[in-house]
Amino acid sequence: MRVAVIRFPGSNCDLDMMAALKTIKGIEPDLVWHEDAALGRGGYGAVILPGGFAFADRLRAGAIAANSPAMAGVKRLADRGVPVLGVCNGFQILVESGLLPGALLRNSTLKFVCKWTHVRVENTRTPFTSGLSEGQVLSMPIAHGEGRFFLPHAELAELEKNGQVAFRYCDSSGRTTPGSNPTGTLHNIAGVCNKAGNVVGLMPHPERAAEALLSPLGHPDGALVLSSLLVRSGGRRRA
Amino acid sequence: MAFFTTKGRTFEVSVVISNKPGVREPEGETILHDLVAKSGFEQVESIRAGKYLRVKVVAPDPASAKKLVEKMCNELRIFNPAAHSCEVSIGRVPGQ
């Protein structure tokens, strides 16, 4: 499967993402500049928006990148059901482009939080969780200043009802406690998906946890998120 | 044949983006609790921080200038409607 990793001016996790994807047999990643027309004619099976500080977070994290030429192409692919993953700043871009609901506001502590977290898999019907099991606890690091997911009360209830929460921060045993919520994010939300399930955003960095050597626990949990792309729901490997 | 165009005048339009009521705004809270309230201004009840854009726009009249900036804010999502309110107002009017 060919996977496009979009590079914006200010992306800084693009090469880590490329390196992580290259370790997964069956995935061929391409780095695509955000003004490049390659996305439309690339025959990509998935698109990933990596982390960083696109356009230096000017106006608001993700707000300017959301209007960049690549995002028009990403929207077209997303409408056709192509899997799209946004990590950290990529999640912020997906939210600002309207591909995912809500807003990612300044952390309640006002601090940039850089630490390893546990997240619980809440739904396995997305292309980035299909290789995982519901309730599975993953260890991945976060590094962001704006990751407090917010939606007005009624819309949040709707999101929960639709099963659009993909990941929640939790403790090591999978309990969603206030102490395991690093940013004040509503309902401990670490990642969400769109209604169709093909567009996913998450704040933790799977590419920074894709090899055992990178993880303090020695678990390459991030690779499980990325390699889910090759697993159809039901556990069968994609052709 | 007479050909006449009006470019209009330059108006200053203010855009204030802030979290909607009910959405926590930690920067304002910190300014209030850790600076203002500790410095003898106990009468201050609440502070909400936000973002301010001062936009200069050429338009035939103030109402058109405001309308153009409102359109810009909505189309380009200068604010995120899930969490923010956006107030657009006319600033300095030329000649007044």
Check residue A38 and give its pLDDT.
Answer: 80
Structure tokens at A28: 């061929």
CA distance B70 to B15: 9
A4-8, A91-95, A233-237, B42-46: range with lowest mean pLDDT: A233-237
Amino acid making up residue A129 = T
Contact check, Cβ <8 Å, B27/A110: yes
- In this complex, which of B26, B80, B83 lies closest to A108 when CB atoms are compared? B26
CA distance B45 to B36: 10
Tell me if A120 sits within 8 A of A176, measured CB to CB: yes
Check residue B94 and give its pLDDT.
Answer: 66
Number of domains in chain B: 1
Largest CA distance in chain A: 46
Check residue A42 and give its pLDDT.
Answer: 78
Q: Is residue B80 part of a domain?
A: yes
Q: Is residue B29 part of a domain?
A: no
Q: Is residue A239 part of a domain?
A: no
The 10s digit of each residue's pLDDT in A118-136 is: 999 999 999 999 999 999 9
The domain that holds A106 is classified in CATH as 3.40.50.880
- With tokens 């993909």, the residue in question is A166
- Asked if the model's pLDDT at residue A188 lies above 60, the reply is yes
Average of pLDDT values for A54-77? 95
Whether residue A88 lies in the annotated active site: yes
Amino acid making up residue A106 = R
Contact check, Cβ <8 Å, B80/A109: no
The whole domain housing B13 covers: 9-22+50-90
Tell me if A135 sits within 8 A of A216, measured CB to CB: no
Structure tokens at A148: 């407090």
> Is the sign of the CA dihedral A53, A55, A60, A65 positive or negative?
negative
Nearest-Å Rg of the Cα atoms of chain A is 16
Q: Is residue A62 part of a domain?
A: yes
C-alpha A29: how far from its chain's center?
Answer: 16
The domain that holds B14 is classified in CATH as 3.30.1280.10
A40-44, A63-67, A196-200, B42-46: range with lowest mean pLDDT: A40-44
Distances (CA, A) of A51 to A16, A108, A135, A202, A227: 10, 21, 25, 10, 18
The 10s digit of each residue's pLDDT in B9-65 is: 999 999 999 999 999 999 999 999 999 999 999 999 999 999 999 999 999 999 999
Whether residue A207 lies in the annotated active site: yes
Helix or strand run (H / E) with residue A69: helix A69-79
- Asked if the model's pLDDT at residue B93 lies above 90, the reply is no
Q: Is residue B75 part of a domain?
A: yes
Check residue B3 and give its pLDDT.
Answer: 46
Check residue B4 and give its pLDDT.
Answer: 41
CA distance A142 to A145: 10
CA distance A48 to A205: 12
Tell me if B74 sits within 8 A of A98, measured CB to CB: no
Q: Is residue A238 part of a domain?
A: no
- Contact residues for B19 (Cβ-Cβ < 8 A; gap 6+): A105, B25, B48, B50, B83, B84, B85
Q: Is residue B66 part of a domain?
A: yes
Q: Is residue B31 part of a domain?
A: no
Taking CA–CA distances from B52, the nearest residue in chain A reads A59
Q: What percent of chain A has pLDDT over 90?
A: 93
Q: Is residue A236 part of a domain?
A: no
CA distance A51 to A14: 7
Q: What is the pTM of this model?
A: 0.92
Q: Is residue B39 part of a domain?
A: no
Number of domains in chain A: 1
Q: Is residue B34 part of a domain?
A: no
Check residue A37 and give its pLDDT.
Answer: 78
The whole domain housing A16 covers: 2-230
Average of pLDDT values for A5-12? 97
- Asked if the model's pLDDT at residue A146 lies above 50, the reply is yes
Q: Is the CB of B82 inside 8 Å of chain A's CB atoms? A: yes
CA distance A9 to A18: 16
